[in-house]
A = this chain, B = another copy of it.
Amino acid sequence: MKKPRIQLLLTGNELMSGDVVDTNSTMIAKKLEEKGLSLQRKVVVGDDVVLLKQEIESISTMADVLIVNGGLGPTVDDLTAEVLADVVEQGLEENEFALSHLESWCTQRNFRLDGPNRKQAILPKGVAIVPNPVGSAVGFSIEHNNCLIICTPGVPSELKAMLDQTILGLLTDRFTGLNETSVYHLPVFGLGESTIQRMIGEAIPSWPASVELGFRASLPLVDVKLTIQSSEDEKARERCLVELRALLGAHVVAEQETSMPKVVVDLLLQQGKTLATAESCTGGLIASQITAISGASAVFEMGVVSYSNRIKHDLLNVQSMSLEEHGAVSEAVVREMALGALQQSQSDYVIAVSGIAGPDGGTELKPVGTVWVAWGGEGKIDAQCLYFPGPRIYFQQLVAAVGLDLIRRRLLGVDEAPLYFKQRRLPRS
């Protein structure tokens, strides 16, 4: 069947002023997707009677379902019930079910059922109730212009409970025979969106129409998404996946959704190995990304943030001569940092980085964005110079991801150098 057109209307001054980041629509979209449904359009307005009325009226003429989110609370700026009554040309009344829900909700909490609270039971005549197992305000729905209008609360936990317990069932009952779409994620590191697209265009010209190819940059990774509309297309997608894995090689970081630090921690756990870090320009970012993963304590021994030369020497045994002759950002120093960290921690593997994060500290030969990375263990340490011009935070995030990626490749036994070794050379080198 044709996919129903579902639109979302969010209301609340706090959403327009930027005081609140909207996570409700993300939740609604994900839950709809699981059921083979999707959002077609989303509109956000403040708590304004005129705008709200216009939007509800206009969306009801173009959509099969309108989910209204927000404006159900007890305060004067909660307008949804009043506006909806106006749109559907019904009066407001004290809804019996809503009132008894409010009464028991207040009794349970030893609250007095006062005027503002009681307002939450005043609903348009003729609505069906959507129970709220979590909070005080019930949801409600009504038909208008052949569109099912469902009003839901702005509190995320209440919205979630209503979606799970009532609304998703309502929708799948109404729209039977949906083709549940299925998304497969291939997280890629070290190639930009446009590079990936060009590579695919050149290598797989006969990409099947039934497999929708999408990209989502979630820095530092790019998520390559393969969406199919029906299980019949699963074979076509399998073939695409085989070709993509071959084409992108070790740039594919994982299957389905995951983060780089999680991949590294999992590989270390599987192999029973440990890791240490010696960080200068990333200032502890690599260590903190690893230790953000539950279970990291089994594989992570030590991190040293050696911001000064003295600490590089005292804690990591970097030779004063190397620092003087080559400078802190050099192959000699980063290799000694790596070796020193391995020795100090008795770990199996190490990541060491030394670079110039900026905005100050660059020179003509070593501009801001220059970084030396050393990685490895078990008798083999490699080092590479890379160049990531850009703001400090962006530089630090990329360098951390590169360090983790290189140790991931080592743990997997990948010999081939990543493509960013070529792309990310210093302009002069």
Contact = CB atoms under 8 A, between A and B. Distances in A.
A344 B313 CA distance: 11
Interface in A5-61: 13-23, 25-30, 33, 38-46, 51
Given A111-B423, A305-B304, A22 B19 contact: no
Given A116-B194, A288-B284, A308-B301, A427 B108 contact: yes
A48 to B, nearest CB: 9
A157 interface: yes
A169 interface: no
Contacts of A414: none
A40 B51 contact: yes
Contact of A19 (B214, B307, B394, B427): B214
Contacts of A116: 194, 197-198
A279 B44 CA distance: 42
Contacts of A17: 29-30, 33, 38-39
B18 A26 contact: yes
A190 interface: no
Contacts of A217: 155
Interface in A294-338: 294-297, 300-308, 310-311, 314-315
Given A193-B73, A283-B287, A344 B360 contact: no
* Copies of the chain in the assembly: 2
Contact of A26 (B21, B26, B28, B117): B21
Contacts of A44: 25, 41-44
Interface string A333-364: 00000000000111000000000011111000
Interface in A223-270: 223
Contact of A21 (B21, B193, B306): B21
Contacts of A27: 18
Contacts of A75: 193-194, 197, 215
Given A25-B18, A345-B311, A294 B392 contact: yes
Nearest to A397: B292
A109 interface: yes
A156 to B, nearest CB: 10
Given A75-B193, A311-B345, A114 B29 contact: no
A44 B26 CA distance: 12
A218 B20 contact: yes
Interface string A364-381: 000000000000000000
Contacts of A30: 17-18
A18 B216 CA distance: 10
A271 interface: no
A297 B308 CA distance: 8
29 contacts: A17-B29, A17-B30, A18-B25, A18-B27, A22-B25, A43-B44, A77-B215, A109-B389, A110-B423, A111-B423, A116-B197, A157-B391, A279-B284, A283-B287, A283-B290, A283-B303, A285-B291, A287-B288, A291-B305, A294-B360, A301-B310, A302-B307, A302-B311, A302-B315, A303-B304, A303-B305, A305-B305, A311-B345, A314-B344
Given A25-B44, A77-B215, A108-B427, 13 more contacts: A13-B214, A15-B42, A16-B39, A18-B30, A40-B46, A42-B44, A76-B197, A283-B303, A285-B291, A296-B307, A297-B307, A301-B308, A302-B311
| Closest 6 A/B residue pairs (Cβ) | A283-B291, A18-B29, A303-B305, A284-B287, A284-B284, A74-B194
Interface of A: 13-23, 25-30, 33, 38-46, 51, 73-77, 108-111, 114-117, 134, 155, 157, 193-194, 197-198, 214-218, 223, 277, 279, 282-288, 290-292, 294-297, 300-308, 310-311, 314-315, 344-346, 357-361, 387, 389-394, 396, 423-425, 427
